[in-house]
Structure 1
Amino acid sequence: MTIAELREKLNCLYEDGAGAVAYFILKIENQLCIRMVDIKNEFLDDLKTCYLNSLTTSIMNTEDARVEELQLLQISVADQRDNALYEYDLEDIPDEFAFFNTIAQDGEQQIFSSNNDSLKDLFGYVIAVGTNQNKALLFKKHFTTSYFSPEKFCIFESDHRFTKLEKPMIRLDTNFEMLYVDGTIVIKKLDTLEKYAGFHDVIKREATVSVQAITEADIVDNAEVLRDMVDEVSFARKLTKTAKGSPVLGKIPTPAIINFVKNHPKLKDKIKLTQDERKLHLDTKESKKQFLKMLNDDYLRSELTQAYYDSLAKDTLTVEEQGGE
């Protein structure tokens, strides 16, 4: 999906007839449970407006230069650029995200009741905006700072007089973290995704496949050392990107890679070669990181100035932009 396609799908949310429904995601004994939230009809339009405004500000308002330049990248090849959204394109989906599909397929869920449920179990909440045929689900992780307990003697103003809060209360934050639309999960920030234990397991499995691909490519004499860093989520995600979209691995001959490392002003001091100079040898954490950056072709050289650059974003030019026909 492109950012233009995402915006097109979200446009229908602004049409007449669109509404809003709120859901609490409770975590009870490590199991996630969905509860529909019964909100007075007079406040539902306000709820919809708040979340549509959040969508407009962060994704839809192309008159804002930063929003207009927003990109949608696949999570499997994410490069952590600042101004981007991320489409979850891995086949393995964490159990913690199952509520998206459940709500999308069947909006009618058990109603939250303080007699049977507790706000202390709140994991997050979903606001569904749109119609039965076209809707988006906006998810926000709940944090304890948004929970107000009567035991803390919370007060609020009522008819010009402050009164004590008698029941637990939460504050809904319209700054959503994930979006589900037309079967696709879109993440606003990668570090948000890394907070979920389920994603850790998924990305570690993907990273292990990447290590195997590097081993089979026979570029490194000790590729097994990469397995030592699979438990580090940010490194594991870089490994996943390597297997999914490396422009080097399996495409550039090993002698050319060796020659590149030997002559690069930075890499020649970071990555060692074997004694016969036929393979690379990774002996430090830094050498492993630089090796992955090299496989992802992050090291570029300007044709104009001949200067070397470390570049995350390497957006391929179209034929027209390259000057072709």
Structure 2
Amino acid sequence: MEDGYTLEDLRTRLNDVFSVENCTLNLYAIIKIDGSFVIKRVSFDGNLTKTLKEHMEVSIKESNLFGEDVILKNLSECDDRRNVVCKLDMEIGGELACFVELNENHGDNYDVLDLENDLKNIRALVVDVDAAGKKMQIYNHIYPTEILGKKRFIVSVIDNRLRKIDNPLLLINNNFQAIQVDGNIVVTNINFIEQHAGYKQVIREKALSACASLTAFGCIENVSYYEDLIEGDNSLARKLSRIVEHSPVIKNNIPHPTIIAFCKSYPSLRNKIKFNNSETQIVLHTKVAMRLILKLFLDDHLTSELTTLHYESQAKDSVD
């Protein structure tokens, strides 16, 4: 992380919140009305405060935030590895934009949600905890199956008998998609934000910008091949989106002949990359080659000076 914020920092702050026995808890709902997302305050029984905080603590400590070998990266640098959680460092849309608004306007008074009429419109719940000044917000997406309205025939087991429940029910599961501590928002589910937070559109725009950068750099003859695949290949679009800000090859203006020579000599690239007749430019011809070239521009191909062995690494900590 460029700003020095680490996963251990996040875990320490979370444990600080959980260590405070008495806390203040607020609930917010993000509802969708006429295509727009709106924040509402949710009224709840005060007796829920302790149990809901305990439920959130169990959920968080059993999540990937406390998993082994998990890596914290900026969302703009996120890649395809499964063991990655991402710090929000870019503009986001959809319902998650409301979470950003809550993060930036902690404690503002919002209108109270009309649970009788608007329960069906809930898209997410945000649990807002203030533990002696230590603040945390947890974002929990609500799926339609987790809202059981009056039209459902709902029964409960009471004294070993089934009894009908007339009131609607809302299920708060133990999955959450993002968390905010000390003003830092960390996303735990990348697939979710691709579907619900306008992330795909942001990535597409960055990927198209990357194509423009690659065209201007001039080492690839047919950059348009990337443009054709951006719409349907999210993984490729994510890798492309990192090129503009994170390509050491472009930043350091590596000469084209040096790049061509590297493609011819490096073991995982040799005989897999095609060139034009004059061998002055790379020609994209297969999806495999297209992905290899992206790895090349992100400088993922490494060689150990000690053993001379070759490696491929997305995580690189500079020691220069």
TM-score by length of 2: 0.86
Kept in 1, the 8 Å contact 2:65–2:85? The answer is: no
Residue of 274, 282, 285 corresponding to 1:283 = 285
Mapped to 1, the partners of 2:139 and 2:65 lie a distance apart of 17
For residue 314 of structure 2, what is the amino acid of its counterpart? L
Q: Secondary structure at the match of 1:41?
A: coil
Query: 1: CA distance between counterparts of 2:111 and 2:97?
Result: 16
Q: Find 1:21's aligned residue among 11, 22, 26.
A: 26
> Which residue is 1:48 aligned to?
53
Q: Which residue of 2 aligns with 1:297?
A: 299
- Name the counterpart of 1:84: 84
Aligned counterparts, 1:1-16, within 5 A: 1-14=5-18, 15-16=20-21
User: Deviation per CA, 1:210-232, whole angstroms, max 9, x where unpaired?
Assistant: 11211121111122332222223
Normalising to structure 1: TM-score of the pair?
A: 0.85
Q: Could you tell me how far apart the structure 1 residues matched to 2:197 and 2:16 are?
A: 34
Partner residue in 2 for 1:98:
97
Q: What secondary structure, in the 3-state scheme, does the structure 2 residue paired with 1:185 have?
A: strand
Q: Deviations over 1:127-153 (max 9, x none)?
A: 112248431111122222323344442
SS state at 1:34 partner: strand
What one-letter code is carried by the residue in structure 2 that aligns with 1:297? D
Go from structure 1 to structure 2 and tell me whether the alpha carbon gap of 1:34 and 1:235 turns closer, same or farther (over 3 Å shift): same
Q: C-alpha distance in 2, partners of 1:177/1:97?
A: 9
Going from structure 1 to structure 2, the CA distance change for 1:158 and 1:11 (only over 3 Å counts) comes to: same
Amino acid paired to 1:246? S
Q: Distance in 1 between matches of 2:109 and 2:64?
A: 28
* Structure 1, gaps ≥5 residues long: 320-325
2:178 alignment partner AA: M
> Is the deviation greater in 141-150 or in 236-245?
141-150
CA 1:304 to 1:247, structure 2 compared with 1: closer, same or farther past 3 Å?
same
Task: Assess, with a 3 A threshold, how the Cα gap between structure 1 residues 301 and 60 changes in structure 2: closer, same or farther.
Answer: closer
- Paired with 2:220 and 2:117, the residues of 1 have a C-alpha distance of 58
- 1:1-325 matches, within 5 Å, as 1-14=5-18, 15-58=20-63, 66-67=67-68, 69-90=69-90, 92-104=91-103, 105=105, 106-117=107-118, 119-131=119-131, 133-196=133-196, 198-231=198-231, 232-251=233-252, 252-303=254-305, 306-316=308-318, 318=319
SS in structure 2 of the partner of residue 186 of structure 1: strand
CA distance in 2, matches of 1:196, 1:284: 31
Following superposition, the deviation at residue 155 of structure 1 comes to 1.1
CA distance in 2, matches of 1:196, 1:269: 41
For the structure 1 residues 94 and 197, does the alpha-carbon distance in structure 2 shift closer, same or farther, using more than 3 Å as the test?
A: closer
The CA distance in 2 between the partners of 1:97 and 1:197, in whole Å, is 5
Runs (5+) with no aligned partner, structure 2: none
How far apart, in 1, do the equivalents of 2:94 and 2:151 lie? 34
- Distance apart, 1:108 and its partner CA: 2.7
Q: Which secondary structure does the structure 1 equivalent of 2:245 belong to?
A: helix
Query: Please, which moves more after superposition, 71-80 or 270-279?
Result: 71-80
Please give the secondary structure, in 2, of the residue aligned with 1:226: helix
Q: What is the rounded CA distance, in whole Å, between the counterparts of 2:175 and 2:52 in structure 1?
A: 13
Q: Helix, strand or coil for the counterpart of 1:269?
A: coil
Q: CA deviation at 1:296?
A: 1.5
State how many pairs are aligned.
Answer: 311
RMSD: 2.5
Give the distance between the partners of 1:269 and 1:55, measured in 2 at CA.
47
* Paired letter, 2:274: K
| Inter-partner Cα distance in structure 2 for 1:113 and 1:152 | 19
CA contact (8 A) 2:147 2:171 kept: yes
Taking every aligned residue pair, what percent have the same amino acid on both sides?
30
Asked whether the equivalents of residues 137 and 181 of structure 2 are also in contact (C-alpha less than 8 Å), the reply is yes
After TM superposition, the structure 1 stretch with the greater mean CA deviation from structure 2, 230-239 or 275-284, is 230-239
Q: Is the 8 A contact 1:38 1:112 kept in 2?
A: yes
